[in-house]
Amino acid sequence: MEISTKKRAMIFSGTSNPELAHEIADHLGITLGRLELSRFASGDIYARYLESVRGADCFVIQSHCAPVNEMIMEQLVMIDALKRASAKRVNAVVPFYGYSRQDRKALAREPISARLVANLLQVAGVDRVLSVDLHTGQIQGFFDVPVDHLTALAILAEYVGSRYPDELVVVAPDAGGVHLAEKFAHHLRAPVAFMQKRRRPDLRNVSETFDLVGEVEGKRCLIVDDMVDTGGTVANAVALLLSRGATSVAVAASHGVFSGNALERLQACGLDELIVTNSIPIPPERRIPQLTVLSIGPIVALTIKAVFEDESVSEIFQGENQEYIPPDSLTQLD
């Protein structure tokens, strides 16, 4: 008996970011798969696929945003249902990866929760993970399955370059963000400055910015980071830059978490523009005048297409989704 088979891709969305999922499907020219997602009276999550997934390459799109624990669990249940329905490959598409900041032990008796999330996804049965701008690259090493690390760098840098074409300084909000700032500076042909920041070990989401290295007087400043959460770091950084003579300050980040009253704090701190992507949905009623939201739909769609067709993902990003090494730091061996 001889059977000629064809590959089939199917895309499904959780409840965290359906607008982005629909956009990705539109870019690929397909419709989202039919799925029933509901809650029992107790709060337990129920998932059932309303069409056959047997032998298909399935992509489950879910941002780990608020309520983060529920969104992670929802994706796990969806993955488990696909495996039990004989999907050929299950790919978790995670535009924003939950618990990513807990990627190491900073104090005794702490968890490494980013690793725990990786373990949960793998135990559920995921065959591959696609994520956008992980907080640290080492998170890829928490998985024993392939991880495709996407980046919104080109989207953000292209917008910033057209909006602020000259007299720009790229600013890292802390020493750990210098590599990201160098990537932006390479795109924008701009100098780099960075701030010294100290986090309170006894309090969550509290930091102090206390010094600046670099020349910003008379310049436009662009603060770059992977995410903006409570807005405290950004508000402190904006105040310091303006006090040092910066003419204006903009912020570019891949993920707009915006916990609590973050947007109100950011609106009042004096920044010129806040640029993020739609990796996390931001409802219209929360969009302050300074906020600009760019779409990662096209790059996620291109990556899904490359994964499905067994093509190179790094070529889509021209290698920028890998660790960056500044050109002038390269040396030749004798």
Residue closest to 164 by CA, chosen among 55, 57, 247: 247
Residue type, 126: V
Q: Determine the 3-state secondary structure of 90 from DSSP.
A: strand
Rounded to two decimals, the pTM is: 0.91
Check whether 127 has a pLDDT greater than 90.
yes
Check whether 53 has a pLDDT greater than 90.
yes
Q: What are 155-174's pLDDT values in tens digits?
A: 999 999 999 988 899 999 98
The pLDDT value given to residue 174: 86
Q: Given 88, 197, 219, 305, which residue is catalytic?
A: 197
Residue closest to 170 by CA, chosen among 212, 236, 240, 224: 224
In the chain, alpha helices (H)? 18-28, 68-84, 113-124, 153-163, 178-188, 232-243, 262-268, 297-308
Q: Which domains does the chain have, with CATH numbers?
A: 9-151+297-308 (3.40.50.2020), 153-294 (3.40.50.2020)
Q: How far apart are CA 2 and CA 108, in angstroms?
A: 60
Residue closest to 241 by CA, chosen among 186, 165, 168: 168
Check whether 327 has a pLDDT greater than 80.
no
Mean pLDDT of 229-254: 95
Residue with the larger pLDDT of the pair 277 and 324 = 277
Distance of CA 168 to the CA centre of its chain: 24
Q: What is the DSSP string of 20-81?
A: HHHHHHHHHT-PPPPEEEEE-TTS-EEEEESS--TT-EEEEE----SSHHHHHHHHHHHHHH
Q: Determine the 3-state secondary structure of 321 from DSSP.
A: coil
Is 232 in contact with 256 (CB distance < 8 Å)? no
Active site includes 219? no
Q: Which tokens go with 13?
A: 């969305």
Residue type, 138: Q
The pLDDT value given to residue 199: 60
Q: How many CB atoms lie within 10 A of CB 189?
A: 9
Q: Which tokens go with 259?
A: 């916990």
Angle CA 59–60–63, to nearest 5: 130
The pLDDT value given to residue 202: 57
Q: What's the mean per-residue pLDDT of the chain?
A: 92
Q: What are 110-126's pLDDT values in tens digits?
A: 999 999 999 999 999 99
Q: What are 77-90's pLDDT values in tens digits?
A: 999 999 999 999 99
Q: What are 35-48's pLDDT values in tens digits?
A: 999 999 999 999 99
Backbone angles phi, psi at 240, to 5 degrees: -65, -45
The pLDDT value given to residue 206: 57
Place 209 in a pLDDT band, splitting at 50, 70 and 90: low
Check whether 314 has a pLDDT greater than 60.
yes
Mean pLDDT of 58-74: 98
Percent of the chain surpassing pLDDT 70: 90
The pLDDT value given to residue 271: 96
